[in-house]
Structure 1
Amino acid sequence: MIAARSLFRAGAAGVMALCVALAVPAVAGAQPYPSKAIQIVTSVGPGSNFDQLGRVFAERLRQKLGVPVVLENATGGQGLVATRRVLNAKSDGYTLLLTSSGLATMPAIVKNAGYKAEDFVAVAPLGQVPFILYASSSVPATDIASFMSYLKSNAANLNMGLLTTSHITTMLARKFGKVVGGELVEIGYRSSPETLSALLANDIQMVATTHAIAGQHVALGKIKAIGVVADERTQAVPDLPTFKEMGYPTLVINVWEALFAKADVPKDVLDKIRAVSREIVSDPSYLTAMVPTGMEPWRIPFDSLQSVIDEEAKAFKKDADELKISFD
């Protein structure tokens, strides 16, 4: 009997020892985040202002975390190619998404977008770029007041350039039409440089784009900067007023860039990325490096980022339904 008890105790001890032995490699193998290269997938093309700022951020993230950080351009499908690539990746924080407001608004206007806005969580605000409404030299207006007066009488005769890769410019064209009580002729282009060429040739009479794209032609007197279609003035042309401050509060589009992760990435990993990102975007050297990209600081509290994006998406859906904006 005693021998049997001893044998049982020995066997139990052996099982416990085996369990501990098996557990030790798992614990020892667990490595703190990050322990390998991080991939940031972006929906924008190489060389764009969003791409340039993304690379500035990625390099500083590499310096902070001590691992390679690779920025990959995955263009197409109005951002859906990049979005789906990240959605299908592991939820481990090693594949992140760098994109714009389209991430939250696309499901509202695209059938079968393949994802829900809730599939992703905002991590960090990188920057923003206020758009300016430019008019061709043929338009007899030089400021917001004279332009809106002219537009109300000539809406059907004016062509507005849109980016076929961005639903935001379509939204703006419809908003202008609603304000003046008419429909503008919308002409789509694949890139901002193409819209600028069309404006210079007077194929279109108005377009919203950035100062970096069109500013030099204003200085040469070839086109006119009418006003800023954003909540605040642009630091690139500080004396140019916004449509909002001149009495047109709906003529606003928000163009920003932010870092996102899949919503089910572990909280400790998200906290790590947020903390490091906060250090990066608040560093004066980052703000200095931002200037050549044409982007501007997006001064929004990290803690408010997700709620601001959610509210913006709700407002966009309301406007899209009212203005009948949708894409197949």
Structure 2
Amino acid sequence: MYNFNKENFLKVMNGAVGVKPEVDKIVEAVMKKGYKTLFLVGSGGSMAIMLPFEYLLKAHARIDVRTEIAAELMVRDSKFLNKDALVILSSLSGTTKETVAACKYCKEREAVTIGLVGELGTPLADLADHVLVNYSENDFAGDSIYIQLFELIFGLMHANGDFPEYEEFMEEFKAMPEALYGMKEAVEPAMMEFAKKYKNETYHMLVGSGSVWGETYSYGMCVLEEMQWIRTRPIHAAEFFHGTLELVEKDTSVVLMKGEDETRPLMDRVERFAGQYTDKLSVFDTKAYPLKGISEKFRVYLSPLMICTIFEVLSTHLEKERNHSLDLRRYYRVIEY
């Protein structure tokens, strides 16, 4: 695959799978203390990666959950953020200013905190009550954090009596590194074609739903906008018909990010409409690609991870075709703001 280090990828993914014993210890400690409300907190892409788990918890568990943008959480006094709250925060660098400040804010309110980071000795790692760490660069960060969050969130669901198949699920996760690599290989021709065809496109509508909505939002903002300086409009499939449809014309690029959860009919509806009114409809459906070693019954939960892993392939090809480095920034972490 283009600009891809398989050995490094598998090392990072196996590292993520390998945090399971630490996850077990954290879940045991958290359940022993008890909690009433679960907060999923982050900034930018690290917040967006929480949205799938909020959806999955609401669909499959009896846990009171809310996803929060770190900076907003600190200026809005939540009556649920107290000694009975459990807070999960994610920052690959461990230095994201708002997320570190939010961790401190939560601890001041006596909430129990769990931090997911890419390196020990960072501010978030030092602050959080419990820490999960797996070294990863940005190119593999999404896959790594997803795997750890599946281990942790579904571990909490299992401990709450909501997911009895947890151990079976986790046993299959041992196959995930190779499975994700195989999926990337399978999707590369389609992503290469898209990058070549749309390298000069100045605007994309990205449509997602259910557990994939967080990835849709994240890919638009954190990749196409931040890393490629392309204007995008992420839109939830359920909301598409309440305004955005009026902007669809024959030359409007509409990209559908289809997963395998209960909300597929919402995506099918957008696909039928867009197919009639634009010549630039692109559909990326996780059902079209293998995830070797993972049972069909578990794929319904894994849509966001699968979307994340295949769109990482697109990112590298956009970088190549547009001659625009994914590391290039004008403002982000370049100037004070």
Q: What's the TM-score, normalizing by structure 2?
A: 0.37
Instruction: Report the structure number with the largest CA radius of gyration.
Output: 1
Q: Which has the higher contact order (CA 8 A, sep 6+)?
A: 1
Q: More helix per residue: 1 or 2?
A: 2
Q: What's the TM-score, normalizing by structure 1?
A: 0.38
